[in-house]
Amino acid sequence: MASKNQGSAPRALVVEDIKVDCVILMHMLHKLNCEATVVENGKEAVDLFVEGKTFDIVFLDKDMPLMSGPEAVAKIRAMGATEVKIVGVSADFGGQEAFMQAGADVFVPKPVKLETVAAMLEVMMLGASGEAPRKVDHESHSDETKSFAKMKPPEKEIKM
Binding residues for another protein, rule: CB under 8 A, are: 17-21, 23-24, 27-28, 30-31, 63, 91-92, 110-114, 138, 140-142, 144-145, 147-153, 155-156
The answer to whether the peptide bond before residue 111 is cis (omega within 30 degrees of 0) is: yes
Q: Please, what is the minimum distance in Å from the beta carbon of residue 111 to another protein? A: 5
CB atoms inside a 10 Å sphere around CB 17:
17
Alpha helices in the chain (DSSP H): 19-31, 42-50, 69-78, 95-102, 114-129, 146-150
Q: Please, what is the minimum distance in Å from the beta carbon of residue 130 to another protein? A: 26
Q: Please, what is the minimum distance in Å from the beta carbon of residue 133 to another protein? A: 15
Q: Which is nearer to another protein, 63 or 83 (CB)?
A: 63
Q: Please, what is the minimum distance in Å from the beta carbon of residue 63 to another protein? A: 6
Q: Which is nearer to another protein, 68 or 84 (CB)?
A: 68
Contacts 24+ apart (CB under 8 A), 88-92: 88/60, 88/62, 89/16, 89/25, 89/59, 89/60, 89/61, 89/62, 90/61, 90/62, 90/63, 92/62, 92/63
Q: Which is nearer to another protein, 49 or 99 (CB)?
A: 99
Q: Which is nearer to another protein, 51 or 155 (CB)?
A: 155
